[in-house]
Chains A and B, each alone.
Chain A
Amino acid sequence: MSNPFFENQQHVTRRHFLGKLSVGLGSAALGTLLTKDLFSPKKSLEESIMAGIPHFAPKAKRVIYLFQNGAPSQLESFDYKPLLNKMVGQELPASIRGAQRLTGMTSGQDKFPLVGSKFAFNQYGQNGTWISEIFPNIAKIADDICVIKTLHTEAINHDPALTFFQSGAQQGNRPSMGAWLSYGLGNENSNLPAYSVLLSRGKGNGQGVYSKLWTNGFLDSVHQGVQFSNSDEPILYLENPEGVDAVTRRKMLDKLAMLNDENYKEFGDPEIQSRVQQYEMAYRMQTAVPEMMDLSKEPDYIVNMYGAESMVPGTYAANCLLARRLSESGVRFVQLYHQGWDQHGNLYNEMAGQAMDVDRASAALVQDLKQRGLLDETLVIWGGEFGRTNFCQGNFSEDNYGRDHHPRCFSIWMAGGGVKPGISYGETDEFGYNIVKDPVHVHDFHATVLHLLGLDHEKLIYKHLGRRFRLTDVAGKVIPGIIA
């Protein structure tokens, strides 16, 4: 795996090592923070894959993915269907429902009464993008975002649908999007993880997340998403134990380096040198990460943009602000999850609450990136794992209704990073049940995101157990209609 010969010739000094790390876009996996072996020769296949990167000029350099975990209803957010309000209580026509399968939660229902959004919709921005009243701040950035109304997926349950969105497969241990980007593009910052994960939770019905969502799958574990927490220790085991200060730690590392070097002289194994380098990087992370997490130096006008909650660690707002800081520092892929969007019942109250959590900070993030001149090179994505049914789940009343899972169409939005701003893409039928124009499959979505980052989804491959794997499996096409 490693190339001891090369290593021996280099007999790397720390300076050389640091110099080697500051590499930018397209410099293969070398620049990843958590690099397994900086000087290993790639297998010829891997080498040829990496040699071609970027496959074309990238529009985006980094991604911030605001995942709305649990699947927010498109019908109360971005897909305005007045017909449903007119037909409240009436049965969903069988011709519209077609062969769509139902989850075990509604398959027993004998009625499928339509229900319209209790929230009012208005048009915003130059192109009159429809946005529901519970997203007043996102409405203000209508000219910056591209709403896709015709996402569709294959799974109808949370776990497989989330896994599909993250990894291109419903089952199995495949690498997630961030891992693929870390593998393909490396990192821009040597002191922070290339793939960072931030979690928050709203009051709505939640479904949990799983570490497999940010797994490296069969890629090296250096591409694994690193979960930041809102505790005193933002990255696990980052802090020195009680009573051990930075000076002591430095002295210990110097002794370790010296003793390891002795051992290297005896064995000549480059893994020993590599281990020393990883300790140095860990040491630098101990300074870099807390600095990154310290939001106290953010000026008031920024805090105002994201809202007061942004000063409360672990909130969605704080994570949005942190996401900007990470991204600004060169972190390739920042993945947020906000839990609580699974409104099988009590949709009206829960969804209003969830929207309160995320509306202001999501919009602030886009505006903040824009004012820093970073929006052009940062792709922001907002959305869940599937949509919700246009009919009511459970007991129907006009004030309190719920919606089941609906994979056939749902809405997400993207901003920056080479995406066409201020447009709505795709159309669903007037029932909000089926796509009538411009469908975007999850594989297409992945292909397009990779494209924006300068990667051809058919060429970013990894050979594992005899097969060439891609994020897009064996499908996916780039959607030119949303690319600026």
Chain B
Amino acid sequence: MLKNKLVLIGSVGLVCVIGTVLYNFTSGNASDSTELVDYNLHVRPILSDKCFACHGPDAKARQGGLRLDIADSAYASLKENPSMHGIKPKDRDKSGVWLRIISEDPDLMMPPPKANLALSADEIDILGKWIDQGAVYKPHWAFLPPKKAEIPKVKKKKWPKNEIDYFVLAEMEKRGLSPSDQADPERLLKRISLDLTGLVPNIKDQEGFLKNPSTENYKKEINKLLASPHYGEKMAISWMDLARYADSHGYQDDGLRTMWPWRDWVIHAFNKNYSYKKFVSWQIAGDFIAPNNKEAILATGFNRNHKITQEGGVIQEEYRTEYVTDRTNTFSKSFLGLTMECAKCHDHKYDPISQEEYFKTFAFFNQVDEKGLVGDISLGSLADPPLIKISKKEVNELLKFINLQDTIVSVMVMKDLEQRRPTHILRRGQYDQPDRTVGFGLPEAVLPYDTVKFSPNRKGLSDWMFDDNNPLVARVFVNRVWENFFGRGLVKTSGDFGLQGDLPSHLALLDWLAVDFKEHNWDIKRLVRQIVSSATYQQAANVSQEKIKKDPENIWLSRAPRLRLPAELIKDLILASSGLLIPEIGGPSVKSYQPDGIWESTTSGRGQLATYIQDHGKSLYRRGIYNFIKRTAPPPSMLTFDGPPRDQCEISRSRTNTPLQALILLNDPMINEAARVFAEKLIVEKKGSVDELIGVAFRRIVCRKAKSNEVSALADFYKEQYQYFISKAGQAEKVLNQGEYPHEKLKDKNEVAALALTILTIYNLEESISKT
């Protein structure tokens, strides 16, 4: 039926009718007819978003035989009416697409009203101009290998500290923006400490840097922080989201699993500064690359972090297929920045990824010697095969980075079947609808899978990823690292580099960084050092009216971002500043204070995790990354501060600001305990005036000297509370009844309680939980 309509549109009569209702071009900024329209910048985002679902790569969904994502197809004359074309360069009236998008007849107009995808006036304007200017197609930027552009020229020559700054400044100058001043030393030190280790600097560090905040000393700070074992913990946080790491199997019974030695390895690998190539290729194919190296095998646990069902009665193949799907999707999202999962059920609607290519990629992950359901929850399987067992002896000798307290631990790893398992295309992605079989491969549009060069297994897959011509792997990682520092990637959609993803704000910079990263052996610490050494990174975060007007989202980086800390780092801040933090690295995840009933009210009642058994002692004071994550009931403080439930691979977190966060920061026993212990310690150790004690607390938490009006406001609060506790006997003891940490024996409970509440107030300052 649609075909018929396309014939109609070609008829002369209709063209005349449509001609009379031609779109009225009154739009503002795009109405300059001399302005050059760029396919990648202006046109493709429109076509992709509004047209490709029915006129794009998905052959089965294609309507009227018209395909608009490829020039030759779009330019072709229409079968039914050869004088008309889909798009005829420089001739709107012979372009069926044009006539359909300006039509007001609901039966003809495109996109059809039913699709709920109306084009805006600006968008129609752009498409018209693009046709006028020759309808030039260009390849999608992300599928072309990155090249190092020349360092741009800038006016403000003194500002740049390294290459990054030239690229950033050039864009600012184009837009009449100028960089902010360098951040004051205290805030800069807090920023860099949080960014590199996730921990705030103590007062000694603050004073040391404040005394001489020279470039030289800043470099020293960078070196010190990069060498800290806490660097690996900080870097590992976002890797845990991406790798959907958790301490339980997921699904309804959600029993315990022991993947934490893999997490310890990730921290170790970052600390040892494994190249990104080694870091990733071991996770993808360590069993092929170094089959006799247990560390490399352990790394492959990455691909076993997905959920595994323990629900009796499931159909084996349904779930096994689900696991392979999860690996495939995680791989494409994490390393290629592509939403390949769309192509599981049909050809991708926007990106040039066919269903066949999806299953060719799927084939790599389809070889694992595994079952959909190994045993029900009652068996309490901590690790389903394939697995490795790691003994205390091995830890002592080889795998020293594993914080093993027991004698042995089992970890799930990758191991392929002896005999290759055939991979079928699954119709509509259904496990029970196998179609023809396919071999190994990857999306051609990214980089053809040359079977001479690349072997038919995960080793080949890994080689393909790190091939010189792979256009995505370096860019995607560099972008994600950038996002970790600036809160926003150079490509904002850090999980989608495809046609529907955002264009890079600074393409030249992204490519320069990606190539430079590759040229320097995928050296992660070097990349991090480059970023934090830049003037761009070191700017102040103050927001002026002018900058807000010109760039409300700070796309052009003329100031540093102010970002709320992620969930894990809020815990770290509170524990570290109060002196409670146990800085031990790795080991089994910990169960700290949690309100009653969270596990109990949701559990199926089966398995080791049916009830929450809180840990005690030093386990209460471990870093946030070690919080035990039970997938069906993750720690509320994690979820409330935007931590993902680890059900699937997540590339970035949102940053919300909600009343539930306020309730946690005010009322969580962990925070109140820290305030109590902090107050006790201060009084025991410092013995200063109230103002002095408040000043010390403020400095340890906020990481700068408090201003006098800040101290006096807090001191007023302290005095008020102190009087109140005097007036109400027994109240101070109640306030101090917080947490399991032993109490100091102090006489004046009123003093301690008033100080504890004052410290709680400081913890709740917006600046305390922000990177400024």
A137 contacts the other chain (CB 8 A): no
Asked whether A208 and B314 contact (CB < 8 A) given A5-B552, A271-B766, the answer is: no
| A-side contacts of B658, CB under 8 Å | 34-36, 221-222, 278
Contact in complex: B659, A34 (CB < 8 Å): yes
B495 contacts the other chain (CB 8 A): yes
Contact in complex: B605, A279 (CB < 8 Å): no
B68 contacts the other chain (CB 8 A): no
30 sample A-B contacts, Cβ–Cβ < 8 Å, listed by A number: A5-B548, A5-B552, A33-B659, A34-B659, A35-B658, A104-B315, A104-B373, A157-B311, A158-B252, A206-B604, A211-B639, A211-B645, A212-B647, A221-B656, A224-B639, A226-B660, A236-B636, A237-B660, A243-B731, A243-B736, A260-B765, A260-B766, A268-B548, A269-B541, A275-B662, A278-B658, A278-B659, A278-B662, A281-B662, A466-B499
Asked whether A208 and B252 contact (CB < 8 A) given A231-B595, A241-B738, the answer is: yes
Contact in complex: B602, A172 (CB < 8 Å): no
Instruction: Identify B734's interface contact among A159, A242, A256, A260, CB under 8 A.
Output: A242
Segment touching B, from A141-149, A180-188, A247-255, A346-354: A247-255
Q: How far is the CA of A158 from the CA of B254 in the complex (A)?
A: 13
B767 contacts the other chain (CB 8 A): yes
Asked whether A199 and B667 contact (CB < 8 A) given A405-B313, A465-B339, the answer is: no
Cβ contacts A211-232/B at 8 Å (1 or 0 each) = 1100100001110101101110
Q: How far is the CA of A220 from the CA of B660 in the complex (A)?
A: 14
A240 contacts the other chain (CB 8 A): yes
Name B751-772 residues within 8 Å CB distance of A: 753, 757, 760-761, 764-767, 770, 772
B29 contacts the other chain (CB 8 A): no
Q: How far is the CA of A467 from the CA of B340 in the complex (A)?
A: 12
Cβ contacts B596-640/A at 8 Å (1 or 0 each) = 111001111100000000000000000000000001111010011
Q: How far is the CA of A459 from the CA of B720 in the complex (A)?
A: 55
| B-side contacts of A215, CB under 8 Å | 645
| B-side contacts of A274, CB under 8 Å | 657
A85 contacts the other chain (CB 8 A): no
Known contacts A236-B663, A279-B662; 6 additional CB pairs below 8 A are A35-B658, A173-B645, A240-B666, A268-B542, A278-B658, A282-B662
B714 contacts the other chain (CB 8 A): yes
Contact in complex: B313, A210 (CB < 8 Å): no
How close is B73's CB to chain A, nearest CB, in angstroms? 21
Cβ contacts B265-285/A at 8 Å (1 or 0 each) = 000000000000000000000
| A-side contacts of B753, CB under 8 Å | 243
How close is B322's CB to chain A, nearest CB, in angstroms? 6
Interface centre among B495, B631, B632, B772 (most CB of A within 10 A): B632
| A-side contacts of B501, CB under 8 Å | 465-466
| B-side contacts of A357, CB under 8 Å | none
Contact in complex: B314, A242 (CB < 8 Å): no
Q: How far is the CA of A169 from the CA of B544 in the complex (A)?
A: 45
Contact in complex: A248, B543 (CB < 8 Å): no
| B-side contacts of A36, CB under 8 Å | 654, 656-658
Interface centre among A8, A220, A241 (most CB of B within 10 A): A241
How close is B292's CB to chain A, nearest CB, in angstroms? 36
| B-side contacts of A285, CB under 8 Å | 659, 663
Q: How far is the CA of A236 from the CA of B633 in the complex (A)?
A: 13
| A-side contacts of B564, CB under 8 Å | 271
Q: How far is the CA of A211 from the CA of B760 in the complex (A)?
A: 30
Contact in complex: B602, A210 (CB < 8 Å): yes
B312 contacts the other chain (CB 8 A): yes
Q: How far is the CA of A35 from the CA of B658 in the complex (A)?
A: 7
Instruction: Identify B543's interface contact among A224, A267, A461, CB under 8 A.
Output: A267
Asked whether A466 and B498 contact (CB < 8 A) given A36-B658, A237-B668, A255-B713, the answer is: yes
Contact in complex: B252, A207 (CB < 8 Å): yes
Instruction: Identify B252's interface contact among A8, A159, A404, CB under 8 A.
Output: A159
Residue ID in chain A nearest B716 by CB atoms: A255
Q: How far is the CA of A241 from the CA of B642 in the complex (A)?
A: 24
B469 contacts the other chain (CB 8 A): no
Q: How far is the CA of A374 from the CA of B280 in the complex (A)?
A: 58
Cβ contacts B657-684/A at 8 Å (1 or 0 each) = 1111111101111001000000000000
A22 contacts the other chain (CB 8 A): no
| B-side contacts of A220, CB under 8 Å | 654, 656
Q: How far is the CA of A271 from the CA of B664 in the complex (A)?
A: 18
B737 contacts the other chain (CB 8 A): yes
Contact in complex: B604, A208 (CB < 8 Å): yes
Contact in complex: B552, A207 (CB < 8 Å): no
Name B135-155 residues within 8 Å CB distance of A: none
Contact in complex: A259, B765 (CB < 8 Å): yes
Q: Interface size on A (CB < 8 Å)? A: 89
Q: How far is the CA of A230 from the CA of B716 in the complex (A)?
A: 38
Q: How far is the CA of A461 from the CA of B552 in the complex (A)?
A: 25
A367 contacts the other chain (CB 8 A): no
Contact in complex: A268, B543 (CB < 8 Å): yes
Asked whether A221 and B717 contact (CB < 8 A) given A33-B659, A158-B252, A256-B761, the answer is: no
Binding site for A on B (CB under 8 A): 114, 116, 120, 251-254, 309, 311-316, 322, 325, 339, 342, 349-350, 373, 432, 493, 495-496, 498-501, 541-545, 548-549, 552-553, 562, 564, 595-598, 601-605, 631-634, 636, 639-640, 642, 644-645, 647-648, 650, 654-664, 666-669, 672, 707, 709-710, 713-714, 716-717, 720-721, 724, 731-738, 753, 757, 760-761, 764-767, 770, 772
| A-side contacts of B724, CB under 8 Å | 248
Cβ contacts A160-197/B at 8 Å (1 or 0 each) = 00000000000111000000000000000000000000
| B-side contacts of A251, CB under 8 Å | 717, 720-721
Q: How far is the CA of A34 from the CA of B656 in the complex (A)?
A: 9
Contact in complex: B597, A229 (CB < 8 Å): yes
How close is A230's CB to chain B, nearest CB, in angstroms? 8
Instruction: Identify B602's interface contact among A4, A209, A275, CB under 8 A.
Output: A209
| B-side contacts of A272, CB under 8 Å | 766
How close is A78's CB to chain B, nearest CB, in angstroms? 24
Contact in complex: B602, A208 (CB < 8 Å): yes
Asked whether A467 and B663 contact (CB < 8 A) given A4-B552, A36-B658, A243-B734, the answer is: no
Contact in complex: A172, B648 (CB < 8 Å): yes
Q: How far is the CA of A227 from the CA of B114 in the complex (A)?
A: 37
How close is B226's CB to chain A, nearest CB, in angstroms? 28
| A-side contacts of B598, CB under 8 Å | 236
Shortest beta-carbon contacts, A-B, top 3 = A466-B500, A243-B734, A208-B604
Asked whether A207 and B604 contact (CB < 8 A) given A220-B656, A236-B595, A268-B548, the answer is: yes
A1 contacts the other chain (CB 8 A): yes
A103 contacts the other chain (CB 8 A): yes
Q: How far is the CA of A268 from the CA of B634 in the complex (A)?
A: 35
Asked whether A256 and B764 contact (CB < 8 A) given A158-B311, A208-B253, the answer is: yes
Q: How far is the CA of A233 from the CA of B541 in the complex (A)?
A: 39
How close is A243's CB to chain B, nearest CB, in angstroms? 3
A76 contacts the other chain (CB 8 A): no
| A-side contacts of B654, CB under 8 Å | 36, 220-221
Q: How far is the CA of A420 from the CA of B660 in the complex (A)?
A: 39
A27 contacts the other chain (CB 8 A): no
Residue ID in chain A nearest B606 by CB atoms: A208
Residue ID in chain A nearest B644 by CB atoms: A173
How close is A192's CB to chain B, nearest CB, in angstroms? 11
| B-side contacts of A229, CB under 8 Å | 595, 597, 601
How close is A200's CB to chain B, nearest CB, in angstroms? 9
Contact in complex: A173, B595 (CB < 8 Å): no
| A-side contacts of B342, CB under 8 Å | 467
| B-side contacts of A458, CB under 8 Å | 114, 116
Asked whether A248 and B721 contact (CB < 8 A) given A221-B640, A278-B661, the answer is: yes
Q: How far is the CA of A111 from the CA of B202 in the complex (A)?
A: 72
Contact in complex: B766, A263 (CB < 8 Å): yes
Name A357-378 residues within 8 Å CB distance of B: none
Contact in complex: B666, A282 (CB < 8 Å): yes
A309 contacts the other chain (CB 8 A): no
Asked whether A263 and B765 contact (CB < 8 A) given A104-B316, A222-B658, A268-B542, the answer is: yes
| B-side contacts of A207, CB under 8 Å | 252, 604
